[in-house]
Amino acid sequence: MTEALPESAAPATPYEWIGGERAVRSLVDRFYDLMDLEPGYHDLRSLHPTTLDGSRDKLFWFLCGWLGGPDLYVERFGHPRLRARHLPYPIGVRERDQWMACMVQAMNECGLDPLLITRLQASFANTADWMRNRGT
């Protein structure tokens, strides 16, 4: 049986819990590597440009702030306006589900704490569903 950490030892933010900037970058890189390599994420991959470098950077900058770290995305682009920025791309149930599966796989492969994965998965699921702009 393991003891719970004292409240003062618990990470203050998911950004800290993940392990900071380097760990967020590793998560984002694994996410896009999986999207690029795994046939099961084909529909999701097809929404992205040929090179994923810009997408990697934008997700990294966004996640740093979203997880409670530095607001790198906001500093560069202002308010994320996620839904508005994604409206040009047809996002339905399939794309949402592929995004979620890819992110969960990346979190697991990066060795994130299972409790953190559970919490992030719930938050990601709400956001991913909100991004849908088609019914199917």
Residue 136 lies in a domain: no
User: What is the Cα Rg of the chain in Å?
Assistant: 15
Within 10 angstroms of residue 118's Cβ, the number of other Cβ atoms is 12
Q: What is the CATH classification number for the domain harbouring 47?
A: 1.10.490.10
Residue 48 lies in a domain: yes
Residue 115 lies in a domain: yes
Report the SS3 class of residue 95: helix
In total, how many domains does the chain have? Answer: 1
Q: What is the pLDDT of residue 4?
A: 54
* Tens digits of residue pLDDT in 35-83: 999 999 999 999 999 999 999 999 999 999 999 999 999 999 999 999 9
Q: Is 84 within 8 Å of 26 (Cβ atoms)?
A: no
The answer, yes or no, to whether residue 9 has pLDDT greater than 80, is no
Q: How far apart are CA 103 and CA 33, in angstroms?
A: 11
The answer, yes or no, to whether residue 2 has pLDDT greater than 60, is no
